[in-house]
Amino acid sequence: MKPLEVVQEYFDAMKAGPDAAQALFALFADDATYVEPFAGTPRTHEGRTAIEACFEGSWKNTPPDLELEVNRVDVDGNTVRSEWTCTSPAFDAPIKGIDVCTVEGGRIKRLEVSFG
């Protein structure tokens, strides 16, 4: 799979939530790295098992009626940079973020999420 296709499948799985857990997890390499800011400070999760645990934990605290919109995607070789917006009635304002994803061998090798 090309890097853009991998990232499109990632966002499709994210939008589906826990129902697409296995499809989401299959997109990550066994030795992938996931860096995310959702606990207030950036946390790094090394390896697919740790990444799966992170996502499973976050789904337990998902705000109601969460919607994810991808606003922009740029591809540079194996790196895909995506800008997105999340909305929920629980938020005072939409949350904007940036994902920088490195794809190797058709799987996510590194995903770094930041607020933008």
- Name every residue whose Cβ is closer than 8 Å to that of residue 57 and which is 6 or more positions away in sequence: none
pLDDT at 30: 98
pLDDT one-digit tens code per residue, 16-66: 999 999 999 999 999 999 999 988 899 999 999 999 999 999 998 888 899
What is the phi/psi pair of residue 37, to 5°?
-105, 10
What pLDDT score was predicted for residue 83?
98
Report residue 2: phi and psi, to 5°. Answer: -75, 155
The pLDDT confidence band at residue 116, using thresholds 50, 70 and 90, is: confident
User: What per-residue confidence (pLDDT) applies to 32?
Assistant: 98
> What's the token pair of residue 36?
């995310």
* Entry pTM: 0.94
52-103 pLDDT, tens digit each: 999 999 998 888 899 999 999 999 999 999 999 999 999 999 999 999 999 9
Domains and CATH numbers, the chain: 3-115 (3.10.450.50)
